[in-house]
Amino acid sequence: MEGGLRVKTLTVGFLAANCYLAYCEDTREAIVLDPGGDGDKILKTIDELDLKVKFIVDSHAHYDHIAANGELKEALNVPILIHKADAEALVNPELNFSSFLAYPYTSPRADRLLEDGDQIVFGRVKLKVLHTPGHTPGSICLLGEGEIFTGDTLFAGGVGRTDLPGGSFQKLVYSLKHRLMALPDWLKVYPGHGPQTVLGYEKRVNPYLRHL
């Protein structure tokens, strides 16, 4: 185990996104992955768990994953990280889907742009960035030693929609086939919405993975 990665799941916003507080058990250094709303609830939990947040990370730039970026950045004064292909959507309400939801939202700009293979380090934990485009051009998964955070690329029993701006079903299938299918079965999956699952189980029963 990589210095004891612990995960606290919070369901946030009216689209019920999973916001993950991923932290190093030893040092309490943490990331906030996908603060998609309910900033007060996220901040309160950070406080309760006595976490030292190093980064805000967005799995992609849809509104339901970034809506509390501004509130958290102001409170915590830490960098926002996102894949470079979704960076512009942070500050474009058409691209980040908020216009369609009638809550036009502009996030602060990213402080660090991620690329495939980058590492996000907090305490003794290292998470590797996998670029998995399809749901959006800059969708990423974060891979640890025993777990993967999949954003809206992969859910228990499903995958993210590809009919929004920048989405591509073809690219999503490529990402699933060449990136996720290649990973070990025993990885615990923390998706952007809905319950946790296990990668090997999804490979067998998920209709989008089963035939790949």
Interface residues with Zn ion (CB under 5 A)? 62, 64, 152, 192
Largest CA distance in the chain: 45
Give the shortest CB-163-to-Zn ion separation in angstroms: 11
3-state secondary structure of 35: coil
Give the shortest CB-181-to-Zn ion separation in angstroms: 21
Nearer to Zn ion, 36 or 144 (CB): 36
> Which tokens in the block code for residue 6?
């612990």
Residue of 170, 150, 168, 175 whose CA lies nearest to 34: 150
Nearer to Zn ion, 125 or 172 (CB): 172
29 phi, psi to nearest 5 deg: -70, 145
Query: Side chain identity at 122, as an amino acid letter?
Result: F
Give the shortest CB-100-to-Zn ion separation in angstroms: 12
DSSP code, position 61: -
Nearer to Zn ion, 7 or 101 (CB): 101
Give the shortest CB-29-to-Zn ion separation in angstroms: 26
Nearest to Zn ion by Cβ — which residue?
Answer: 62
Give the shortest CB-151-to-Zn ion separation in angstroms: 7
Nearer to Zn ion, 133 or 192 (CB): 192
Nearer to Zn ion, 166 or 192 (CB): 192
Residue of 131, 145, 161, 137 whose CA lies nearest to 15: 161
Token pair 């992609």 in the structure block, residue: 60
